[in-house]
Amino acid sequence: MRILPVISRLKSQCQLLQNRVETAQSLTALTDEEILYDLPLAFVYSGKEIAGPSEIINATSQLVPKRFHVMIAAQNTTQSIEPIEDIREQIKSALIGWQPDGDHDNISFVEGDIIDLSKRLIWWKDTFETWGILHG
């Protein structure tokens, strides 16, 4: 699955991110010193393509579940993690049920989990999935 349409969708639909969505350059959380300003941020990257019990469409195409991740960096507050929850709600609202192209089904939410936590930042990763046609 292509990541750029997901990034465009999040930029247009998630006002709390203020267009700060890009492809991930690393799969680990950056340190507080590397992210000085412009929070929150979101990074999108591809995940697993699972060739399990999937349907063969014809001799050259197969229906396969494809996953991608949205990693979020947001300000940590002493009160709670509510600001990141507001961002996650906007991201889910933008992606769940959206069909990225004619070769993929609507996107669904799979899971979310905290990646890292510091006094300043919360790093969170949400995983989404769509079924797509894999052309041979």
Mean pLDDT to the nearest integer, 29-55: 72
Q: Which residue has the higher pLDDT, 23 or 62?
A: 23
Q: Are 112 and 95 in contact (CB under 8 A)?
A: no
User: pLDDT (tens digit, 9 = 90+) per residue, 1-38?
Assistant: 789 999 999 999 999 999 999 998 766 556 555 565 67
Instruction: Look at residue 135 and tell me whether its pLDDT is greater than 80.
Output: no
Spatial separation of the C-alpha atoms in residues 83 and 58, rounded to whole Å: 46
Q: Please classify residue 97 by burial: count the beta carbons closer than 10 Å to its beta carbon, then call 0-12 exposed, 13-18 middle and 19+ buried.
A: exposed
List pLDDT tens digits, range 112-122: 999 988 888 88
Shortest CA distance to 16 belongs to which of 71, 95, 89? 89
Higher pLDDT, 81 or 84: 84
pLDDT tier at 48 (50, 70, 90 boundaries)?
confident
Residue 105: the pLDDT is 93
**95: closest CA among 58, 125, 68, 123?**
68
The H or E element that residue 22 is part of is: strand 21-23
Q: Which has more pLDDT, 18 or 79?
A: 18
What phi and psi values does residue 67 have, to the nearest 5 degrees?
-110, 150
Task: Give the pLDDT band (50/70/90) at residue 84.
Answer: confident
Please measure the distance between the N-terminal and C-terminal CA atoms of the chain and give it in whole angstroms. Answer: 14
H/E run at residue 94: helix 82-95
Phi, then psi, of 98 in degrees rounded to 5: -80, 135
Looking at the domain that runs over 4-135, which CATH code has it been given? 3.30.2000.10
